[in-house]
Amino acid sequence: MDKTASRSRTRRTLRLLLRGSGWYFFICILSGTLLTVCDLVIPQVIRVTVDSVIGNAPPALGGPALRILDLMGGAEGLRAHMWRIAVFLGALGLLGAMFRYLSGVTNAMAGETLVKTARDALYHHIQRLPWAWHSRNPTGDIIQRCTSDVERVKTFFQEQFVITFRLVVTILLALACMLTMNAKLSLVALVMLPIVIAYSLHFYNRIRDEFTECDENEGILSTIAQENLTGVRVVKAFGRENFERERFEKQNVYYTGLWVGLLRDMSVFWSVGDLTSCLQIMLVVVFGTVLCVRGEMTGGEFISFAVYNAMLIGPVRRLGRLISEMSKMGVSLNRLGEVLSAEPEQDVPDAVTAPMDRDIHFENVSFRYSEDQPEVLRGVSFTIPAGKSFGILGGTGSGKSTLLALLCRLYAPTEGEILVGDTPLARMRAKWVRENVGVVLQEPFLFSRSVEENIGVCGADAEAVRAAAVTACIDGDISRFANGYETVVGERGVTLSGGQKQRIAIARMLTKKTPVIVFDDSLSAVDTETDERIRAALKRDLEGSTTIIVSHRITTLLDCDSVLVLEKGRVSQLGSPKDLLAREGIFRRIFELQMAVGEED
């Protein structure tokens, strides 16, 4: 992506993230600016007090400031009533405290609103992204963008952006006051400003590149941790704890090294800032002392000038920090923009909601996951009759699961088309297709909720949940759980066996009552007897539905009306189980092999 397009994307992302928090930031900036004005008045009070109240010099004031002095009784009146100065300073302090409170509250509200807006926008957008996008992006990296990157953008706006206006006002007004008091000494104080800007710009690009690499490797580290936490049973079952620990530590050492390098450069950056600040203070003190000795400055002016110089150093250094923090925020904002600008899944114009209880036709369908990968399916053509059971058999990598993904519109064919009746699947609304195709995967995902909530996740009531559980032959197992249907299954169903998870997933699918039902090898973890009971119950309760069964177990496919055999992405055989057993081919060979193994058992 070119720089113009990248900047345009960044602007769009910023507008989206600041939606709802803009007014809070505005009030925060305004109150912060007024607080700065209160702070800048105090050195002038000190100057007038030292030179005109304690001393006898005429007050070097004009306009509103002189009128305020007159209202307080002038220099003579203040000399007789010094408490008035204390009251005035107290009032300034109270007013400043009010502005500080308002600034802090609105800043917090703005930051939290920004976070809520950002996470809502990311979550909603990610939900609409196509399955292909999710397969390309690791879960750990997505989570890291939705948490760490969002937090970093929030921190920048809360701690850096809102203070920028206050810094600018402080610098401009402080310089104006310094110039009115002594132009020569002001030039001395300004000598270091170009140096600060120069080294800040020098470090900007370097810090940005280093932080980009840190952020990307944090995503890799999060992915490793997420994979190991979700796959802890596999790690323990194969005794790979040491291997996974070493893998994590290797990435963690590399990631830590990147941050150490970045912090080393940041330390140099701040050390240079400390050096320039000390030099600026030293120059002002030395030259100011000389000017006082020569009579070109009064004592009050020198004290006020020194205060303004101290007030100037902080904002100038903060501007340098602002540049470095902006580089880090820019990386996070760009990563968020990559997600938010990803093209969401969209239906074609005038998409339809045609009936799904029709024959399903695959016509010369070919598919590859990317241009640099070989075709998974090549010229596949067959028909699934409506209301019939259709089996699919094939070896690993033959394209079985890909066929089902195409039917659910998770992917689109590279060539050819899929029709339901006379309507191309591509012309149907994706949501409509998925609402009418019930899918049970080989490795079902269960939420960390109760059994009843997992089965009724699509909105089924308790009666429908129990009826589906009976059909899926899982009701007896659930009844033996300590809390029955209220038993919490744990993350990803970790407390259940593979067969129990598959049957709960079948029950969940049955609550949808869809016209098309897909079983992707979803009975592989149950024994043969239970398999037969489930198929009998499904045949009884799903009469009239189009049932597609993918299985490696021939006995599961024998009751199907027809069976498709895939080999290396092509149709090898197609026909009824009886016909396929009567002729030579893959179906018959696998049947004989499985029967021989069964007899040996």
Which alpha helices (DSSP H) does 480-541 contain, by range? 498-510, 528-541
pLDDT value for 60: 60
Residue 555 and residue 563: Cα distance in Å, rounded?
12
Identify any residues that bridge with 26 across adjacent strands, giving them in sequence order.
Answer: none
Residue 283 and residue 192: Cα distance in Å, rounded?
10
pLDDT value for 320: 61
Q: Are 437 and 514 in contact (CB under 8 A)?
A: yes
Q: Delimit the CATH 1.20.1560.10 region(s) of the chain.
A: 12-340
Amino acid present at 560 = C
Identify any residues that bridge with 488 across adjacent strands, giving them in sequence order.
Answer: 450
Of 400, 407, 413, 414, give the one whose Cα is nearest residue 430. 407
Torsion of CA 488, 493, 495, 501, to 10 degrees: 110
* Torsional sign, CA 169, 171, 174, 180: negative
Which alpha helices (DSSP H) does 129-191 contain, by range? 131-136, 139-144, 150-156, 162-181, 183-190
Q: Delimit the CATH 3.40.50.300 region(s) of the chain.
A: 360-600
Q: Does residue 135 come out as left (phi exceeding 0), alpha (psi in the -120 to 50 range) or beta?
A: alpha
pLDDT value for 204: 65
pLDDT value for 460: 82
pLDDT value for 601: 45
User: 175-182, long-range: CB within 8 Å, 24+ apart, which pairs?
Assistant: 175/312, 177/40, 177/43, 177/44, 177/304, 177/308, 178/305, 178/308, 178/309, 178/312, 181/47, 181/297, 181/301, 181/304, 181/305, 182/288, 182/291, 182/296, 182/297, 182/301, 182/305
Residue 441 and residue 460: Cα distance in Å, rounded?
20
Residue 101 and residue 233: Cα distance in Å, rounded?
52
Helix (H, G, I), strand (E, B) or coil at 32: helix
Q: Are 351 and 428 in contact (CB under 8 A)?
A: yes
Residue 111 and residue 18: Cα distance in Å, rounded?
9
Q: Are 192 and 280 in contact (CB under 8 A)?
A: yes
Q: Does residue 445 come out as left (phi exceeding 0), alpha (psi in the -120 to 50 range) or beta?
A: beta
How many H helices and E strands in the chain? 24, 10
List the structure tokens of 556: 């599961």
Annotate 413-424 with b (16+ C-beta within 10 A) or e (fewer).
beebebbbeebb
Question: CATH topology for 12-340?
Answer: ABC transporter transmembrane region fold (1.20.1560)
- Spatial neighbors of 9 by CB under 8 A, at least 6 apart, are 1, 334, 337, 341
Identify any residues that bridge with 33 across adjacent strands, giving them in sequence order.
Answer: none
Hunting for tokens 């009567």 — which residue is that?
582
Residue 29 and residue 321: Cα distance in Å, rounded?
18
pLDDT value for 562: 92
Q: Does residue 368 come out as left (phi exceeding 0), alpha (psi in the -120 to 50 range) or beta?
A: beta
Residue 283 and residue 279: Cα distance in Å, rounded?
6
- Global pTM reads 0.69
**What are the φ and ψ backbone dihedral angles of 230, each rounded to 5 degrees?**
-75, -25
CATH number of the structural domain 360-600: 3.40.50.300
Length of the chain as a residue count: 601
- Divide the 601 residues of the chain into consecutive groups of 10 and give the mean pLDDT of each group: 72 84 86 81 73 66 65 68 78 86 89 90 90 81 84 84 77 77 77 72 70 77 76 69 82 86 79 77 81 77 76 68 73 86 87 89 90 86 90 84 87 90 90 87 79 83 86 85 82 72 85 86 70 76 83 83 89 89 87 70 45
- Spatial neighbors of 27 by CB under 8 A, at least 6 apart, are 102, 106
pLDDT value for 73: 66
Quick: pLDDT tens for 547-575: 888 888 888 888 888 999 988 889 888 98
Identify any residues that bridge with 550 across adjacent strands, giving them in sequence order.
Answer: 392, 520
pLDDT value for 525: 62
List the structure tokens of 224: 């490793």
